[in-house]
Structure 1
Amino acid sequence: MDSLITAAGLALAAGDPLGALDRVALREDAPALALRGIAMAQLGDLDRAKVLLRRAVRGFGPKEAVARARCIVAEAEIALVSRDLGWPAKALDTARATLEKHGDRLNAAHAGHLTVRRLMLIGRLDEAERVLAGLDPAPLPPASRAAHELAVAGIAMRRLRTKAAREALEWARLAANRAGIAGLTAEVDSAFLVLETPAARLIAQGDERPLLLEEVEALQGSTALVVDALRYLVRKQETTISLATRPVLFALARALAEAWPGDVSREELVARAFGGKHADESHRARLRVEIGRLRAELRTLADIGATKRGFAMAPRQPGDVLVLARPIEERHAAVLAFLADGESWASSALALALGAGQRSVQRALEQLALSGKVQSFGHGRARRWMTPPVAGFTTTLLLPAPL
């Protein structure tokens, strides 16, 4: 390995893409192409980076499996930053296995962290935890250790384990400071903001207030009956009843919980559950059927009783009735929530992350664009969506060891 390639690799590891380009910008050999690709990715030119990395893969000979695997790992991270969630995950798994086989544990760990981040984005937390459990953070250099702790914190936040998340972020901040990479430090600071930003709203007896993630976690241990509009379930301590596949029943449960200890008129229940403006006899008949179904679902937690003007919820055990709602509730709020990370998303990636049809997501994006809440660039398969203005930065892209 010549000295310029080594120096360029060390510059990339230190977060200095311009320094790396100074050394290899005019070279066309495979190692130089790979380092140029990573440098361009760190500078934000992801399309050019992908071209350079693919040229590098073709340029490495059949005996240079480790170098090709490193390029595939770098391309996988570009796909992740680009929110190209359809990028072949098996290629990353194969590259990771190759790196482990040849003793390149740092790059293998980097590949593992990319797998964890992708799984978190599409909501497969159990798989993400299994992959992360197989990664030993002890021998990792500071930049990789920060990435590991960010993954630990991300899973802990989604599991509502805020203490574990905060501890992991403290370790990530320490590692990022030791690495001296500004983008990585900014990513850790951004993750800390999640713990200080309202994650939900609490609605109780006509009043509402924002809740931090820590407060949402504390609510799980309360004696209150909680109608959770984030996960579409009703719970009281350890007892949980999911209504995720019963949207009409959940709409009724939420309306009754918001009105507790009072009742809700039949007209309002019809409007909330069925979207009807006037409660005619057919609506009333359907309402009676659905109330009966809801009463059966919640029989261990609450009773649904008829009143003179409608229905009311009554917990079977003493305690308040609360509604946990999203911080912002509007049409297509879930799409906006994903776009809020400041990255550009393809509609196919959003559909995969949301578990929805791509055409449904495209219609939602078009409606949000008409109201000025999102914007797009590119055409056809290259079209990407984001929220204006963009206040993000490209995730640090590097290979821990120089090619």
Structure 2
Amino acid sequence: MSDTKLLSLSEIFNNKIFRIPDFQRGYSWEERQLEDFWEDIQNLSPNKIHYIGLLTVEPIKESDILNIEKWKDDLWLFKKGLSAYYVIDGQQRLTTLIILLHEILRTFSDDKGINYGQKSEWIDRFLYRSYNSIYKSFVFGYEKDNPSDEYFKTKILEQESSTADKYPETLYTANLMFAKKYFAKKLKVLNKESKESIFDKVINRLKFNYYEIDDSLDVYVTFETMNNRGKSLSHLELLKNRLIYLSTLLHEDDETKGRLRRDINETWKTIYEYLGKNKDNPLDDDTFLFNHWIMYFTYDRSQSDVYAEFLLKKKFTSKNVLCNKISIEEIKAYIDSLSKCVKQWFYIFNIQYSSYSSRIKEHIQKLERVGWGAFPPMIMAVFTKESNEDLIWDFLDACERFNFLVFAISHRASRYCSKKCV
């Protein structure tokens, strides 16, 4: 890495643009993290600085993205002398800061100054730059194939986009909106001077340890190593990064590897769309991964989180790819199964949204009342592979009878979910 620098947001956003790459997780901060963050800002004295953590970035060479479709709309920024970077570590804090800055700026009219600068100057520096007064390139955001990209632009930064409706809402986009509303509520009760004080703290007095990764480091391995601070990455989030990394190591042509990478991204879009589809009943990502592992591979309770140990340390490893012990066909089959099964996993716990008949819905509701026992992975498999409702009904009926007799009548404790509860 390059030498560390302790820099403020104003110093970091100095003719630079930042993108969150596709192997990164989305925005995961919830109320607890936002409360701690807001309290830190409130308690910071105007003449003091506050260390906010590590910001690790990877420089993006113009030559590497010149022919990549998703970068074409932003290439003009390079001609303007700006440099581009991928955010490898620190994206949660950085995203939070940008949301807060936007919420502060939107409370000021266009002709009003703030902290000795025009509102337009701060927008140009931290949010987006305009080309020909029509097209905008965003200073900070996600790569274009990330479902959070359009949501961040249109719902969080409130800008127009012709493709805004093409991307689903996910658990991550729900977190983005929660942060936006959280800060809007906090700022609503503050006067102009208080908001200017917070603005000054955010851009000048919160300091990052700023690192730029050099070419000798593997960015995917660096991400796995560094991103276990703050709110820990889920195993599902780590698995996405691992599979994208493995796609670069496969003994295949670049077009094939690129297509697999796109398929991995599409799979995770689908996963997080369905896990967060019911905002009143969001589903846990690692619980889904655990149950899918039982269904797809095997069940072993010999140690805690054995499913993650298997997926990340035994199955999907660089050694297995380099030694030809795992093929592109195996990876493709696995992610295809994840994509299909997450939809059925959603319907198991939100059966009212399914197209199943009333008798199937009634049986699922009965199972909910009696207790799931060890059957969710099996139900997911049946829902995914079987279309005959008579057979599905017979299976659910057997599950209900078993759980009622074993757990309700005999009062035996179910061992299902001793490590991961549904």
TM-score scaled to structure 2, two decimals? Answer: 0.24
TM-score scaled to structure 1, two decimals? Answer: 0.24
Structure number with larger C-alpha Rg: 1
